[in-house]
Amino acid sequence: MREAHPRERAVGMEYYVSDADGVGGHLRDEAGDFRVREREAFEAEPVDSATGDYPYLVLRATLSGWDTNDFARQLSNGLGISRGRVSWAGTKDKHAVTTQLFTVQGVEPADLPDLGGVDLEVVGRAGRALQFGDLLGNEFEIVVRDATDPENADEITAELREFGDGDVAVPNFFGQQRFGSMRPITHEVGLRIVREDWEGAVMAYLGNPHEDEPPGTREAREFVDETHDWQAALDEFPHRLRYERSMLHVLAENGGDSPADFRAALEVLPDNLQALFVHAAQSYAYNLMLSERLARGLPFTKPVAGDVVCFADGDATGEFPLPDTDRLQRVTEKRVDTIARHCERGRAFVTAPLVGLETELGDGEPGEIEREVLDELGLSPGDFDLPGEFYSEGTRRAVLVSTDLDVERDPLTFSFTLPKGSYATVVLREYLKADPMDLS
């Protein structure tokens, strides 16, 4: 086990589990180097089904160089409908070729617009819209360019199999994207929100310049850090930073000198971004818990006394078991061996908390880790009883992710499948051992 890159340690991923040197190189020279295809879990009826019973058109879209949200906006604009009538199961990155399902309410196949970099296949009709999470996982095919030591891939794979007790496996960290690839600050904003430090949260987002940002952006953030002159800051912030500018408008209008003003500035942001701040704080704490579990040498493939496990989702396929975090059980000394057998057969998964209002922490050494991390961050489950989108009940998440990885050479290419919610870059970081900016 070796120490991770400083950028990764800053978001709680403190170690690699493989000791071998990386293959080097970088990702995403072009969109086709990073291909993602959803493993679908949504059934459609024939396209000629009655629109009264099945008002949603189901599309399979292959997108090249499109962010999911941007595509949905352009699709709705091209159809002349509201953005709210377009739904999907998982958000994908624009620096990739991605294949995923969408549902569109109240349109016909003939209405679909032509968009560059988009291949649309009409799958059928459905009686409801896709919801976030309506998928099993994602299949990846990822090319690494300019690898300096591709032969190291074999040794890394062997080490990951050892970690996974025979399967290629890694800690189920939240990847760098969760926190912001260029400027990883979403968890910093979230931690201040959870502590109800509304001014600190606003300044972590508006100010707090990062060395990788363009000079004009850094200067604008430095200006607002130094002056708190919200009106003048509007002249400094580039127009492309529309979220920051929306916040500055609210602060300039309200005065920007009370906790209520700062909270109002945060609440002008889209609901999903408000929630993301808190989710990022939870993810950071979770990553730290996994790193400490690694440091203490506790297993990831099987439980120890005090762990909380979840059982497999009964609706998922045996080929692709998924954790059901609504089915939890505490592991006592008497049950360790029994639960370990369930984990070995893919019927149960060791978990760690994404802490929230209803989180019950573990016992024994796992519980000790959870409490120590929360104490160091100044957090407790009760802190998440917050207004609006900042509220969170919490959940738990499997600590290990296994995959069916295949490696090819010339060019060095990794093919594998992950369950929904797990990050391809968390697998690839073990192989490249590079600056996360080379993975994004």
d(CA 426, CA 439): 10
Question: Catalytic residue at 93?
Answer: yes
What dihedral do alpha carbons 389, 395, 399, 400 form, nearest 10°?
A: -90
* CA dihedral sign, ordered 411, 412, 417, 423: negative
Given a contact cutoff of 8 angstroms between Cβ atoms, the answer to whether 352 and 289 are in contact is yes
E strand segments, 145-257: 168-171
Distance from C-alpha of 322 to C-alpha of 398, rounded to nearest angstrom: 9
Strands (E), 292-428: 308-312, 323-330, 348-354, 395-398, 400-403, 406-408, 412-419
User: Cβ distance 201 to 192 under 8 Å?
Assistant: yes
State how far the Cα of 13 lies from the Cα of 352, in Å rounded to an integer: 14
From 93, 134, 383, 438, the catalytic residue: 93
Q: Pick left, alpha or beta for residue 256 (phi over 0 → left; psi -120 to 50 → alpha; otherwise beta).
A: left
Give the active site residues. Answer: 93
